[in-house]
Amino acid sequence: MAANNWSHRIRMAVDIGGTFTDFQVFNESNGTLHELKTPTTPADPAVGLVTGLNLAADRYGFDLSEVALLLHGTTIATNAVLERNFPDCALITTDGFEDVLEIGRHMRKDVYGLYAEDRVLLVPRTLRFGLRERVDSSGRVLVPIDREQAKCLATEVENSGVKAVAICLLNAFMNPVHETAIRELLLEAAPDLDVSVSTDISPEIREYERTSTTVLNALLMPVVRGYVERLEARLGETGTEPRVLLIQSNGGMSTPGVAAQQPARLLLSGPCGGAIAAEHLSQVLSFENLVAVDMGGTSFDISLVHQGRAAMVTEGEIDGCPVRLPMVDIRTIGAGGGSIARVDDSGRLRVGPESAGADPGPACYGHGGTLATVSDANLTLGRLLPAAFLGGALALDRDAAQRVIARSVGDPLRLSVEDAAEGMVGIANANMANAMRLSLFEKGFDPADFALVAFGGAGGLHAVALAEELGMNRIVFPRAAGTLSAYGMLWTDILHQAAQSRILEALPQSLGTLQGIAQSLLSEGRAALDADGIEQDLWDLTLSADMRYVGQGYELTVPWDGLSVDEDVLNVAVADFHAAHRARFLHADPSEPVEIVTLRVAARGRLERPDMVQDLVPASNAKSLRHEIYANGAWHEVDMLRRSDLRPGSPLKGPLLITEEFTTILLLSNWRVEMHPTGNLIAERA
């Protein structure tokens, strides 16, 4: 079926977080957009998803059979890594390289530590197998596979009882013939094994990172496939059969079949939606530079939009495990509404990274929580309204919040409940501001050149404090901020990415080899889009290259002009590399030779863009009430308005509390806010 030919009228985006599952419901027939939140069901996230679908259908008056497209972000892969919740896995590698994961990179995060840091060992030594074979750095076979040894090894792996196998051989990215042969032998011996091959998931240089990525992919294959099967079964029980697409770490969508084979691409699935939404806001509002912060119940995610594009990286890390795949550059820390506050043995107040999660959640939820959290603090300070949380679906217990804060923080530090709560919020803000500062400074950016986009259920309460801490002068409070990550999924496309490492000097004599690699990668991208049923006039293919000065140990990714590989294009790419190097590191040397390390292709299949009705704001004037909040050691009476009562063209001055169904905005006295015609609120320092 063509990607832009939907026979029904409802498009839904779902972001499953650690505490809540967020929904955006877009009605294609009239352009209206609605949002919804339901508690996440950690035991089986598909249960919460289907519950939300039914609630949305009842609330907004449609039948589930009318849902044509379900865009889905999930933390299932990330949580499996964090919790080490996956089956046993074996690793097959070149003889003598069984300990690559254990050796890792000789880099220390704690440079003053007296002892070596622990390695994250995803595969125990007893399940790492070496095979006699060797391919050299040019792809030439030096030692052919001994098929008898390979068959014995396949039998040994089968007898070990593992459910998944990772195959990562030395220099396989130059010639995959041995990896392909081993996979065939393994599947002959054990057809039900999940087998991940490095040349399929990460055919790039750097043995440690490539091995880690391949192992993670193998470990996650049964986990993600099992989730996809449960999701399809539960959707089938509802009588609906929407086309399901899952958002990847690169900000694009993939089919469930692709996701089950390459689940490592889902490791930043959930937070990516927020980064894509920020990129869309950059275009809508004509703000080139944005810092997007998503503060939910469990985590605080930071992404950057620079010159209108979300920042990307070619390698990330999940809980100490390198992942050598293109992904949106997102920094995550444990700071959310559910972050737990405690006083340590030295008498110091700490907040996070542990979270109360969705079950039991903060004490104020009334579900049996006994630990003080940031949400309890905000409720105690009058910044959350007990009867309005989640649109009134969950009445908050202020007395319970005050009791746990007094017991956990106030009494040990001899502080009043209000001062203890304000201290908790202050420390949480400091943690988040430090993470934002690092995200900006490591790229040489000045926070004053960026606007802050604050979203997630808790983002609006902390945005002004964060902006002031970093010297930022403008904040965007988006429409549907409480579910913005789900909203961002409505603006993305199907995306396949392929790469091939080959170290070549950026000189005309390398053009023949580069042309061959580019054509192979482009063919791979076209085949993937064709398999997805995307019409050719909706294809967008782009080339880029990881480039560096000869002798460097790191690269910069440089987009190429068009799909041809000729001398003019190469010269432009080299000039762009020098410019990018100067922008990133404040120096460049055009006289130094440049080399190409990896060639990349992105194959994008455009999905139909939502044609949303923007002017949904009532024409009535804002009606304010008076409300008390605690700030700077005292109670203050401030105006309180509903966001639905605001309209464009009427600037408002703080202090101010603005409430909406799934989030609340706190504006201090030295800020003013005005509604943009698109319905987004723009706040500026007075």
C-alpha neighbours within 13 Å on the C-beta side of residue 94: 20
Question: Rounded to an integer, what distance in angstroms lies between the CA atom of residue 498 and that of residue 524?
Answer: 7
Q: Summarize pLDDT for 579-638 with one digit per residue, the tens.
A: 999 988 889 999 999 999 999 999 999 988 777 665 444 444 556 688 899 988 899 999
**Is residue 28 included in any domain, yes or no?**
no
What pLDDT was estimated at residue 189?
87
Report the amino acid identity of residue 304.
Answer: L
CB count, 10 Å around CB of 580? Answer: 16
42 in any annotated domain = no
Among the three residues 171, 189, 224, which one is the final residue of a domain in this structure? Answer: 224
Mean pLDDT calculated for residue range 345-357: 88
Based on the fold, state whether residues 615 and 583 are members of the same structural domain: no
The model's confidence at residue 299, banded by pLDDT at 50, 70 and 90, is: confident
Percent of the chain with pLDDT over 70: 97
Residues 471 and 530 in one domain: no
Cα-based distances in Å from 369 to 35, 227, 415:
27, 28, 22
Mean pLDDT of 357-376: 88
For 637, the enclosing helix (H) or strand (E) is strand 634-642
Average pLDDT over residues 467-484: 93
User: Which of 212, 221, 217, 213 lies closest to 193, judged by CA?
Assistant: 221
Overall number of domains in the chain:
3
The two three-digit tokens of residue 62, written as one number: 């449609």
Tokens of 531: 């398999």
DSSP character for 406? Answer: I
What percentage of the chain carries pLDDT values higher than 90? 63
Burial of 181 (0-12, 13-18, 19+ CB in 10 A): middle
Q: Radius of gyration over alpha carbons of the chain, in Å?
A: 26
pLDDT at 221: 95
User: What's residue 111's pLDDT?
Assistant: 75
Which CATH number do you get for residue 103?
A: 3.40.50
CA atoms within 13 A on the CB side of 662: 24
**Last residue in a domain, options 580, 605, 630:** 605
- Which pLDDT does position 78 carry in this prediction? 83
419 and 539 assigned to the same domain = no
Which tens digit of pLDDT belongs to each residue from 198-225?
999 999 999 999 999 999 999 999 999 9
pLDDT digits (tens, 9 = 90+) for 283-295: 999 999 999 999 9
Q: Tally Cβ neighbours within 10 Å of residue 82.
A: 12
Report the amino acid identity of residue 407. R
Rounded CA gap, 339 and 327, in Å? Answer: 26
- 195 and 187 Cβ atoms separated by less than 8 Å: yes
Tokens of 482: 């409480």
pLDDT mean over 641-668: 88
CA dist 556 → 302, 313, 314, 547 (Å): 21, 9, 9, 5
Q: What is the mean pLDDT of residues 16-40?
A: 86
Give residue 279's pLDDT: 94
Tokens of 468: 């002031």
User: How far is residue 112's CA from residue 618's CA, in Å, rounded to a whole number?
Assistant: 60
Q: Among residues 560, 575, 605, which one ends one of the domains?
A: 605
Q: Is 52 among the domain residues?
A: no
Residues 330 and 73: beta-carbon distance below 8 Å: no
Nearest to 45 by CA among 10, 87, 13, 14: 14
Q: What is the pLDDT of residue 621?
A: 55
What is d(CA 666, CA 564) in angstroms, rounded to the nearest whole number? 52
Q: Give 92's contacts (C-beta < 8 A, 6+ positions apart).
A: 129, 131, 153, 157, 165, 166, 167, 168, 169, 182, 186
Contact (CB, 8 A) for 431 and 333? yes
Do 429 and 511 belong together in one domain?
no
SS3 label, residue 480: coil
- Decide: 76 and 45 in contact? Cβ < 8 Å: yes
Predicted confidence at residue 622, as pLDDT, reads: 53
Whether residues 115 and 213 share a domain: the answer is: yes
Q: Is the pTM of this model over 0.75?
A: yes
For residue 19, is it within any domain?
no
Q: Are residues 460 and 514 in the same domain?
A: no
Tell me which amino acid residue 182 is: I
Task: Report yes or no on 13 lying in a domain.
Answer: no
Structural domain contains residue 553: yes
Pairing status of strand 300-306 against strand 330-333: antiparallel
Strands (E), 231-306: 243-247, 253-254, 290-295, 300-306
Structure tokens, 513? 């080899």
Tell me what pLDDT residue 402 has.
Answer: 95
With left for phi above 0 and alpha for psi between -120 and 50, is residue 519 left, alpha or beta?
Answer: alpha
Quote the mean pLDDT of the chain: 90
Backbone phi, then psi, for 292, in 5-degree steps? -100, 125
Q: Are residues 439 and 414 in the same domain?
A: yes
| pLDDT tens track for 48-98 | 899 999 999 999 888 888 898 999 998 888 888 877 888 899 999 999 999
Q: 10 Å Cβ neighbour count for 638? A: 20
Question: Residue 93's domain spans which residues?
Answer: 82-224
Which pLDDT belongs to residue 623? 64
Q: Report how far residue 521's alpha carbon sits from residue 541's, in angstroms, rounded to the nearest whole number.
A: 10
Q: What's 374's domain CATH number? A: 3.30.420.190
DSSP-based three-state secondary structure for 284: helix
Q: Among 10-19, 421-430, 503-512, 675-684, where is mean pLDDT lowest?
A: 10-19
Based on the fold, state whether residues 627 and 513 are members of the same structural domain.
Answer: no
User: Residue 537 sits in a domain of what CATH number?
Assistant: 3.30.1490
Same domain, 622 and 593: no
- Region 147-156: mean pLDDT is 90
296 has which bridge partners? none
pLDDT digits (tens, 9 = 90+) for 305-340: 999 999 899 988 887 889 999 999 998 888 888 899
Within a domain: 116: yes
Considering the domain architecture, whether residues 442 and 563 belong to the same structural domain is answered as no
* Token pair recorded at residue 220: 């996650």
Point out the least confidently predicted range of 14-28, 169-183, 438-452, 565-579: 14-28
Q: Is 391 helix (H, G, I), strand (E, B) or coil?
A: helix
Q: On the CB side of 108, how many CA atoms lie within 13 Å of its CA?
A: 8
Q: What is the pLDDT of residue 1?
A: 34
Confidence (pLDDT) at 542: 96
- The answer to whether position 57 is within a domain reads no
Taking the alpha carbons of 75, 85, 365, 452 in that order, is the dihedral positive or negative?
negative
Query: Which residue, among 28, 21, 15, has the nearest Cα to 69 in the 3D structure?
Result: 28
- Residue 251 confidence (pLDDT) above 70: yes
452 and 501 within one domain: no
pLDDT of residue 614: 55
Average pLDDT for residues 24-34, to the nearest whole number? 86
Is the separation of the CB atoms in 462 and 453 below 8 Å? Answer: no
- Token pair, residue 473, equals 């002068």
Q: Are residues 294 and 427 in the same domain?
A: yes
